Amino acid sequence: MGKKILVALAGNPNSGKTTIFNNLTGMKQHVGNYPGVTVERKEGYCIHKGIEMRIVDLPGAYSLSAYSVEEAVARNFLVNEKPDVVVSIIDSSNLERNLYLAVQLMEFGAPLVMAFNMSDEAKARGYQFDLEKLSGAFFAPIVETVGHKQQGMDALLDAIVSVAEKERNPRTRAVVNYGREIEEEISNVVEALKSEAPPGGYPYDLRWLAVTLLEQDKEIEKEITTSGVKDRVSQGIARLQKFFGESPSTEIASRRYGLISGACQEAVRSTVERRHTTSDKIDNFLTNRILGLPIFLVMMYLVFMLTFRLGEPPMGWIESFFAFSAEKISALWPAGSESAVKSLLIDGIINGVGGVIVFLPNIFLLFLAIAFLEDSGYMARAAFIMDRIMHKIGLHGKSFMPMLIGFGCSIPAIMATRSLENRRDRLTTMMVIPLMSCGARLPIYSLIIPAFFPQAWQAPMLWLIYSIGIILAVITAKILRMTILKGESVPLVMELPPYRMPTFKSVLLHMWERGWLYLRKAGTVILGISILLWAMTSYPGLPEDHLQRFEQQRNAVTAENITQEQKNERIASIDNSQAEAAIEYSIMGRIGRGIEPLLKPMGFDWRIGTALIGGLAAKEVVVSQLGIVYSVGEADEESESLRNKLIRNYSPLIGFAIMLFTLISAPCMATFAVTWKESGSIRWALLQFGGLTALAYLITVVVFQTGRLMGVGL
């Protein structure tokens, strides 16, 4: 293998950066987190002209000013990793806005390649670019690309190789002229930095460092410890503030945009008058003040209908596979064997983990649909539509995006609240995110809904349970903002990307990334919890005198003068009674019996109670624990499916109550931990945990008791 290089992809959100990353790396990629933070890190590999490229997809950022954790991560990567090439992905249909980050990368001294992405949309809007002039203005090669059609990828790779092989010369890069006053202060700060440089110097270009200090970048200021530099910077800021009558950072940004504007006037031509694009025309309908919200709700209903209708056949295949596996493993022991290993394999692992994996088709289909809506540009419109509602409940419009992420998992959703500048907005959003039905709850809904409701009602019931969570989140947020989190909320300013047809490859990759996290969780966390719960459900075993009593009952039936069929039925009934007695006698059974009086008003018995206890660790465990409780001692080829056992023991009203309680009640322990960390206080985590559990109990009792009195769902 020849040379190896490190390539970083940088760009604004919605610039098509991730699509290009997927095009270049394909399936040769992995996802993790940056050290010390919870921002996602995507890396992949590509070989072009004998050069192996390690490609890193940096978090979407509008600048390198580190106003957000994503921008700080992107900048720290450039400083610490020193990539051989930085590719600035630019939405060329919105050129001036997107070039701001490219100018900062240029000032930073990064070896730059500029990808003018979405060039087909730019041309459709009537733009023509003089790429030679623009390339000369920014001292970087420019390649036109269309990410979602995989156009321009080879040319982009050629440009990356060319820049990587070129010897770097600090003089061959554009420098923004900030005017006499600012340039004088930049020079003064550079001299101060040189005179008081630490051993080994600074890891930054000194001019860039001086400009950034004059912009009052808090993160960079922390790295300056010498009083001489601090004093020089403070004097410069005070002088510029007095001269311009505004913050130096505002004037510096204005000069950067001036460079961009001048370059665009020279090298960009509009061949037609600006007109309403296809996206604008679609938005007139989809984001309509009256129609926008109903269309969004219908869209989500269609997503849920797709999830159930298409997911049912593969779920049946997986269910059959695990039933077949249980049968084959059971056959390894003699009939009636009480082996603990057999029980662990069948009751603990197959019925525990298998009960969760069986819902994988639903998970994949849901994520597939959401990935399609995100990549098409519709989800950004959904945030715009929901902004009106957000303000009515006192939340920032940006709160919608973390709440939307909450439909996948509460943990990254709570972390995503970092994008909110106001602490009250952050805390309010954090508190209500668990009311968004995360992917961990979907297995519970997928078990309950088909068990108790006919097919025609399945999609409406799923839509209803998701809608209840959203409505409760809205009400809870309003109450919080009126009481303990009073304060003003600032308006949402966001950019709507143009609509585009997502590529099959991109949607598939997004679906796989999220689905794989669920599958990995099933094979690790859920497996461990299932084994623990199996042990708590299996031990201690029944005392010897209890076992003898059940054996005497079997012997008595065997001695009776009745048909063999009647004997088999009675013995099976005794076996079931023994299995149930063993579970009740177990650690988990005793806990369940202990809390049963508290559960009765909700319509729950001790079995459901044990499942809800398991759900505190991870919501999916509710399904696996029910599988364990209803399978211990009767896991043979004639065992009924868990769904049939639920139908036999509970009513549709109780099924709905289970879904309602698991929707609203305390989130999993991992969510508790991340709320504690992100809020900076255990009090907020305890308030979320206790408050949601109390709310769940109250609402579930009211719904069950009302339904029982009215005779609904019994």
| CA distances from residue 341 to 21, 337, 575 in whole angstroms, order as listed | 47, 10, 19
Residue 189 corresponds to which tokens in the numbers above?
A: 């700060």
pLDDT of residue 353: 67
Query: How many other C-beta atoms are found inside a 10 Å radius of the C-beta of residue 35?
Result: 9
Highest mean pLDDT among 79-88, 282-291, 456-465, 482-491: 79-88
Report whether pLDDT(493) > 60: no
Strand partners, 127: 270
| pLDDT tier, 387 (very low <50, low <70, confident <90, very high otherwise) | low
More confident residue, 121 or 167: 121
Tell me the pLDDT tens digit for each residue of 205-216. Answer: 888 889 989 988
Q: Which residues pair with 268 in a beta bridge?
A: 129
User: To which residue do tokens 């997004």 refer?
Assistant: 510
Spatial CA neighbour of 244 closest among 234, 236, 107, 259: 236
Cα separation, 352 vs 623, whole angstroms: 8
Cα→Cα distances 253→179, 180, 250, 638, Å: 12, 16, 5, 73
Quote the CA–CA distance of 120 and 93 in Å, as a whole number: 9
List, in order, residues 6 or more apart from 329 with CB less than 8 Å away.
342, 345, 346, 350
Looking at residue 419, what is its pLDDT? 59
| Alpha carbon distance, N-terminus to C-terminus of the chain | 69
Question: Who wins on pLDDT, 573 or 478?
Answer: 478
| DSSP at 118 | S
Average of pLDDT values for 189-203? 84
Q: Is 378 a residue whose pLDDT tops 50?
A: yes
Q: Which pLDDT band holds residue 174 (cuts at 50, 70, 90)?
A: low
Q: What percent of the chain has pLDDT over 90?
A: 12
Position 518 scores a pLDDT of 62
Report the sign of the C-alpha dihedral through residues 71, 76, 79, 85, in that order. Answer: negative
**What's the Cα-to-Cα distance from 116 to each of 64, 88, 183, rounded to whole Å?**
19, 8, 31
Q: Higher model confidence: residue 418 or residue 22? A: 22
- Give the DSSP H/E element, type plus range, for residue 574: helix 564-585
Q: Pick the residue with more confidence: 274 or 549?
A: 549
- Residue 453: both structure tokens together: 């409701």
pLDDT at residue 632, as a whole number: 40
> Which one of 79-93, 189-203, 565-579 scores highest in mean pLDDT?
79-93
Task: Say yes or no to pLDDT of 641 above 70.
Answer: no
Show contacts of 559-562: CB within 8 Å, 24+ apart: none
pLDDT value, residue 276: 46
Per-residue pLDDT reduced to its tens digit, 338-360: 677 877 787 667 766 666 676 67
33 in helix, strand or coil?
strand
Is residue 236 packed enough to be buried (19+ CB in 10 Å), middle (13-18) or exposed (0-12)? Answer: buried
CB 665 within 8 A of CB 612: yes
Tell me what the pLDDT averaged over the chain comes to. Answer: 79
For the whole model, what pTM was predicted? 0.54
Q: pLDDT tens-digit profile of 15-24?
A: 888 889 988 9
465 pLDDT more than 60: yes
Q: What is the mean pLDDT of residues 101-118?
A: 89
Residue written as token pair 């639920």? 646
Higher pLDDT, 383 or 430: 430
The pLDDT tens digits of the residues spanning 247-296 come to 888 888 888 887 887 788 778 887 644 444 566 677 777 777 778 778 88
pLDDT at 412 over 70: no
pLDDT of residue 68: 67
pLDDT at 634: 38
Q: What does the pLDDT read at residue 703?
A: 93
Predicted pLDDT at 352: 62
Contact 143, 153 (CB under 8 A): no
Q: What percent of the chain has pLDDT over 70?
A: 82
- 444 falls in which pLDDT band (50, 70, 90)? confident
Amino acid at 526: I
Note the pLDDT of residue 635. 32
Give the integer Cα–Cα distance in Å for 170 and 165: 15
Q: Say which residue, 556 or 360, is predicted with more confidence.
A: 556
pLDDT greater at residue 277 or residue 645: 645
**Of 244, 251, 212, the residue nearest 229 (C-alpha):** 212
Which tokens is 123 given? 């041309």
Cα→Cα distances 238→32, 215, 318, 406, 438, Å: 43, 12, 69, 44, 50
Q: Which tops the pLDDT comparison, 285 or 609?
A: 609
User: Tell me, what's the pLDDT at 275?
Assistant: 43
What pLDDT score does 359 carry?
A: 64
502, 375 contact by CB (below 8 A):
yes
Q: Is 215 helix (H, G, I), strand (E, B) or coil?
A: coil
Q: What pLDDT is recorded for position 281? A: 73
For the residues 636-664, what does the mean pLDDT come to?
A: 77
Comparing 393 with 442, the larger pLDDT belongs to 442
Give me the residue label for tokens 């940088």: 10
- C-alpha 304, offset from chain centre: 18
Paired with 6 in beta bridges are 54
